[in-house]
Amino acid sequence: MGRVVVALGGNALQRAGDHGTWPEQVAQMRATATALAALVAEGHELIVTHGNGPQVGTLLRQNELAEHELPRRPMDVLGAETQGQIGYLVEQELTAALVRARVPRTVLSIVSRTVVSARDRAFAHPSKPVGRYYTEAEARALRKREGWQMVYDGARGGWRRVVPSPTPRRWIEGDGLQKLLARDWGAHVVPVVTGGGGVPVVERGRGVFEGVEAVIDKDRTAAIVATTLQADTLVILTDVPAAAIGFRKPWERWLGEVSASEMQVYLERKEFADGSMGPKVEAALSFLRSGGRRAIITDPPSLGRAMRNETGTRISPG
């Protein structure tokens, strides 16, 4: 038993090959919600966080297509919009799943802001591709007109906008939520927090924050959430049942029970790709360094068995 923070990947919300229709997302969330409700039924206190990659990509494209008629909104605002739509989806499906599992709770989505440093090196080196692929001529025009940084993606043969992915420092709403949970709220409420890693803001003065054009890795923020709320377990749900070494090589080996120090060695050997499995492993290790007891990387169908130490990658401190 204990407090569990579960981070849902874009893939726990939308399967590869889906068109991203609302009914597809509902169906996908329904399956994930059933697995989450089973955790609560087993006596765990649950906090949910989630990614927003596909959803923010859709909003960027809609803004772009409509800009002759409606002003384009900045990326921080789009991040907040995705917290609203995904938060609503989690509320809908998880509320129903909790009732089915006979452990009704109020599922409460919280629009969350994450503070980043204005001096973060990422602002000078934007690295995270967002939105669609462009031709070379379009990329040149956008660079000039919008001041966007564009990179060429050789594998897909197109240009993409890249934005900074600064390190999350603090989740603004976290202190307040920690106080509420300490007052036994955990028995009644399932909070949904820091969607898409939280809306990125920089601090301009006491209580004064300004949204920035950036994205935050949701796994890195999930580690901050789990630490701030003093969770026992951080679970990162994605579309693979575990982390592997030699991933997609003939000598591939899926990892089960593993210590943080062993995982650190694999991380330094670059076993986990940047921007996908890498940040998950980093988040797990950072949580364990700040007092967490267990971090799990698995997929939604394996969640229950992974919590019972039967499958998935389970990382322990030490």
* Residue 302 interacts with ligand ADP (CB under 6 A): yes or no: no
* Residue 232 interacts with ligand ADP (CB under 6 A): yes or no: no
Q: What angle do the packed helices 218-228 and 174-182 form, to 10 degrees?
A: 40
* Residue 240 interacts with ligand ADP (CB under 6 A): yes or no: yes
From 39, 59, 231, 277, residue interacting with ligand ADP (rule: CB under 6 A):
277
* Residue 271 interacts with ligand ADP (CB under 6 A): yes or no: yes
- Parallel, antiparallel, or unpaired for β 113-115 and 199-205? parallel
* Residue 9 interacts with ligand ADP (CB under 6 A): yes or no: yes
Of the pair 4, 244, the CB lying nearest ligand ADP is at 244
* Residue 195 interacts with ligand ADP (CB under 6 A): yes or no: no
Other Cβ atoms within 10 Å of 66 Cβ, number: 11
State the amino acid at position 155 in one-letter form.
A
* Residue 11 interacts with ligand ADP (CB under 6 A): yes or no: yes
At 160, list the tokens. 């993409």
From 253, 261, 273, 289, residue interacting with ligand ADP (rule: CB under 6 A):
273
Q: Could you tell me the smallest distance in angstroms from the CB atom of residue 182 to ligand ADP? A: 30
At 56, list the tokens. 């923010």
Q: Could you tell me the smallest distance in angstroms from the CB atom of residue 236 to ligand ADP? A: 7
d(CA 305, CA 301) in angstroms, rounded, equals 9
* Residue 231 interacts with ligand ADP (CB under 6 A): yes or no: no
d(CA 275, CA 166) in angstroms, rounded, equals 13
- Which residue do the tokens 């900074």 mark? 164
Of the pair 25, 186, the CB lying nearest ligand ADP is at 25
Print the SS3 string covering 105-146: CEEEECCCEEECCCCCHHHCCCCEEEEEEECHHHHHHHHHHH
262 φ/ψ sector (left φ>0, alpha ψ -120 to 50, else beta)? alpha
Q: Which of 10, 53, 186, 195 is catalytic?
A: 10
Question: How many residues bind to ligand ADP according to rule CB under 6 A?
Answer: 15
Is 165:217 a contact under the CB 8 Å cutoff? yes
Contacting range for ligand ADP; rule: CB under 6 A; set: 41-49, 73-81, 171-179, 241-249: 241-249
From 276, 304, 316, 317, residue interacting with ligand ADP (rule: CB under 6 A):
276
Of the pair 11, 233, the CB lying nearest ligand ADP is at 11
d(CA 96, CA 94) in angstroms, rounded, equals 5
| 218 classed as catalytic | yes
| 249 classed as catalytic | no
At 18, list the tokens. 């889906």
Q: Which residues bind ligand ADP (CB under 6 A)?
A: 9-11, 51, 238-240, 243-244, 247, 271-273, 276-277
